[in-house]
Amino acid sequence: MLVRAEARIGLRGVPLRAAVLLSIVLGWAVGNASGAGAGLSALATGDAASTYLALVVVYWMAMIACRDQAVSAAAIVLSKPQPTERLVVSRFLGGYLQVLALLLTLFVGAALSRWWHAGTLAGFAAYGIQFFRAAVVLFFAASASYTLALLAGTPLAGALAGMYWLVTLAGQDYLAKVYYPYYTQNLPAFGFAGVFLISMAALLHRRSRRGALCAPIGYRLAPWLTLLLVVMAVRPIIVHGHDPLMRLSPLMEEMGRQDASLLGRSPGFTLPDQHGRLVSLSGTPGRVFVIALLEPRTEEGVRLLDRLRDLHERYGSRGVLPLAVCIANDQGAARVVAMGERLRYPVLVDWGTHHAPRAADRSPIAGAFRVSDMPSVVVTDRRRRIRDILEGIGTYDGPGLEEAVLRRLAEEPE
Amino acid sequence: MGLYETDLTIGEGIFALLGPNGAGKSTLMSMLATLLEPTRGTARVGGYDIRRRKDKVREILGYLPQDFGLYPSLTVYETLDYIGLLYNQRDAALRSQRIEEAIARVNLGEVRDRLVAYLSGGMHQRVGLAQALINDPRLLIVDEPTTGLDPEERVRVRSMLTELGRDRVVILSTHLIEDVAAIADTVAVLHRGKIRYVGTPSGMRETLRGRVWEITASGDNLADIRRSFTETALQRDGDRVRIRVLSETAPAADAQPVEPTLDDAYIGLMREEAGERQHDG
């Protein structure tokens, strides 16, 4: 009940209404993305939420943390018997509900834009995944800003969370992937970190207000438990991940040591698909593979994915199997785009992707395939030998790709 | 302003804390309201220690601070509903009943659905009083509740406090002597963190009986009188001026002894304290 009352205080205010309006406009602007489905639109909307909206949230939650000082209501509120920790958590949750309202309007704006411009909302479920992802990211942004502002007693302290965000936006060349709250693989760690921060705020804020009483046991245990969960979530990212700025994975290094050449055997790989199942070339022998390495956040990448879907629908029964390898730092992008574009063929997550200026350097697998321009497509024969290599516009535009597949089928019908 | 150790027992009725700005009134109020921790000593409210059982004190306390704000985006009713939740009143029906009672008590029925942002100063103060009544407190602390109000609103607030003081302890902090004269059962004069007087307002007046004089002065001797005696009031009367002064003996041949007022007594106390300090120095 207190959470609802806290939310109402902000939801009624003019600033939030203005922010909602801006949020719809932003959603409308980013939601109009190309593609047969809503995949790219959903990705763009989630990214806008995790970057631009996060900065708004940092400001918003810092103001909520210091609201009583701003309106001189602290004496009234603090003279009431409501326990401090409950007040801290309720106020945060009330503020977070306002954040979710903003997020929802952003996605509504994006979906409306998509429907208006493309005339369809096919793959709408992708918005759901992105909404959830952005909600966790904003939860962390909100908790960091709120906690800092609350404990320091000034909204300026909340700006430190905003600084972190700006550093992650600007520092892709020197920050390891694990520092990015908006990568799907990091969501559990940053989600738990958010809970950790809030539990610390609840425990430490105005401790003397409790008098001789102690905080309830749950509040005292929460920081330790959530800190443990943060460690448990971060450890596998570091130990099993691949990032030259943090730690190299021997498995990924092994995959990267292969070398693709025309008429040579295609480099092999084992990567998870959009459903989490491991997919490898050796696991499906005797197929004509259309291996596409692409960036799912680009228009070219999505157009190629749609192209591969057409090929799969038309020639899949004759042994053609497209394999889209998503070169993206965010390991959740493959799933979103696969759901948004309603793809039934394997869309693989290249978890070895990292920041690098050149396409071939972005992932060991891209290096193995000697990718110089994204997107890049390799067509193999049924014995896994590379027969055609296409790069850039030729992959998703013009007849080149389909002709290459038809050539394979003509030479090797079965 | 700090507060020296003070022994004080406050019973039912309206207890007024009188003193100039910076005397320590708000400090004492904040301590009793559990907002400020005393560095030494303690106090008990309803039997609960304000240092150790702050939670219990807050349950029986209603507090109206001197300068307070409310959330401008909420209506009067919603504000009180929020305060009810802060009092841990989870039963919506009971909370609603308490809110309606408080609204009726401070006469805010007409504006119950108006946003707090659009209330006048007097109404804002009444909402402040209503929020302090939501839990039907045994102790009501009101800090300078009439400051800044127009005369009509001031009378209204005093009436409410008189009504409330019938069945609970009301501690009223003020620097307006007319507040004390109008409604206080007991008064304590606080200056520089020390209690200078505790007793009834009439007893405070009695401390100066026989020592208050009124002199009718012309412009020529007015300056001499003001320099020689402690002046407590001055009133123009045509070309002449009637001036009240404190003196052990008749200050002039035409001086008339008059009934002491609370103003006289208050100024007398302040002057005595200043004299003591000068003497100590």
Per-residue pLDDT tens over the stretch A53-63? 999 999 999 99
User: pLDDT value at position B217?
Assistant: 81
Whether residue A341 contacts residue A232, with contact meaning beta carbons closer than 8 Å, is answered with no
Q: Of A238, A218, A249, nearest to A85 (Cα)?
A: A218
CA gap A383, A369 in Å, rounded: 17
Q: How many residues does chain A have?
A: 414
| Residue type for position B34 | T
pLDDT tens digits for range B230-262: 888 888 888 788 899 888 888 888 889 999 999
Give how far Cα B244 sits from Cα of A389, B20, B93, B220, Å. 108, 21, 58, 17
Which chain B residue is nearest to residue A73, measuring alpha carbons?
B69
Nearest to A2 among B30, B59, B85 (CB): B85
Find the mean pLDDT for residues A339-363.
90
Q: What local confidence, expressed as pLDDT, does residue B139 receive?
A: 93
Instruction: Quote the tokens at residue A74.
Output: 């602290």
Contact A321, A285 (CB under 8 A): no
| Residue A328: pLDDT over 70 | yes
At residue B278, the pLDDT reads: 56
- Is A385 near chain B, with CB under 8 Å? no
pLDDT confidence bin for A340, thresholds 50/70/90? very high
Identify which of A12, A80, A211 has the shortest CB distance to residue B86: A80
Q: What is the pLDDT of residue A346?
A: 96
Tokens of B234: 């001055």
Contact pairs from chain A to chain B, CB under 8 Å: 87
Of A78, A79, A81, which is closest to B88 when you measure between CB atoms? A81
d(CA A269, CA A255): 6
Residue where the block lists tokens 């801290």: A88
Q: Give helix A39-48 / helix A125-152 axis angle, nearest 10°.
A: 10
Q: Compute the mean pLDDT over every residue in chain A, rounded to the nearest whole number.
A: 92
Question: What is the pLDDT, as a whole number, of residue B277?
Answer: 58
* Residue in A with minimal Cα distance to B26: A75
Contact partners, residue B94, CB within 8 Å, separation at least 6: none
Question: Residues A77-106: pLDDT tens digits?
Answer: 999 999 999 999 999 999 999 999 999 999
Contacts (Cβ under 8 Å, ≥6 apart) of A101: A11, A16, A20
| Residue of B85, B89, B138 to mutate for A, most A C-beta atoms under 10 A | B85
Complex-level ipTM: 0.86
| CB–CB contact A80 B72 (8 Å) | no
- The span from the CA of B237 to the CA of A278, in Å, is 103
Question: Other CB atoms closer than 10 Å to residue A124's CB: what's the count?
Answer: 17
Model-wide pTM > 0.95 = no
pLDDT level of residue A174 (50, 70, 90 thresholds): confident
- Above 90 in pLDDT, residue A327? yes
pLDDT for B41 = 82
Task: Give the gyration radius of chain A's Cα atoms.
Answer: 24
List of chain B residues whose C-beta atoms are within 8 Å of the C-beta of residue A2: 85-86
Res. A117 pLDDT band, cuts 50 70 90 = very high
Distance CA B84, CA B99 (A): 8
Nearest chain A alpha carbon to B84: A80
A-facing residues of B in 14-33 (CB < 8 A) are 30, 33
Phi/psi of residue A53, nearest 5 degrees: -65, -30
Whole-angstrom Cα distance, residue A209 to residue B78?
26
Q: Which of A84, A380, A53, A394 is nearest to A211 (CA)?
A: A84
pLDDT above 90 as % of chain A: 76
The pLDDT of residue A84:
93
Which one-letter DSSP state was computed for residue A344? -
Q: What is the pLDDT of residue A323?
A: 96
Q: B33–A79: do the CB atoms touch at under 8 Å? A: yes
Percent of chain A at pLDDT above 70? 100
Nearest to A75 among B35, B53, B86 (CB): B35
One-character DSSP codes across A58-125: HHHHHHHHTHHHHHT-HHHHHTS-S-HHHHHHHHHHHHHHHHHHHHHHHHHHHHHHHHHHHS--TTTH
Q: In the structure, what pLDDT confidence band is assigned to residue A364 with cuts at 50, 70 and 90?
A: very high
Do the Cβ atoms of B71 and A71 come within 8 Å? Answer: yes
Q: What is the pLDDT of residue A404?
A: 94
CA dist A107 → A41, A322, B89 (Å): 10, 31, 37
Alpha-carbon distances, residue A299 vs A25, A38, A329, A373, B48 (angstroms): 21, 12, 17, 14, 69
- CB contact, 8 Å: B52 with chain A? yes
The backbone torsions φ and ψ at residue B33, rounded to the nearest 5 degrees and listed phi first, read -85, 5
- In order, the DSSP letters of A229-285 are HHHHHHHHHHHH--BTTTB--HHHHHHHT----TTSBPPP-EEE-TTS-EEESTTST
pLDDT along chain B (281 residues), means of 10: 74 89 86 89 87 91 92 94 94 94 91 93 92 93 87 88 90 88 90 87 90 84 82 84 88 86 89 64 48
Asked whether the predicted pLDDT for residue A389 surpasses 70, the reply is yes
pLDDT of residue B221: 77
Please report the pLDDT score of residue A210 as a whole number. 83
Q: Is cis: bond before B137, omega within 30 of 0?
A: no
- For residue B141, give the 3-state DSSP assignment: strand
Q: For residue A247, how many other CB atoms are within 10 A of its CB? A: 14
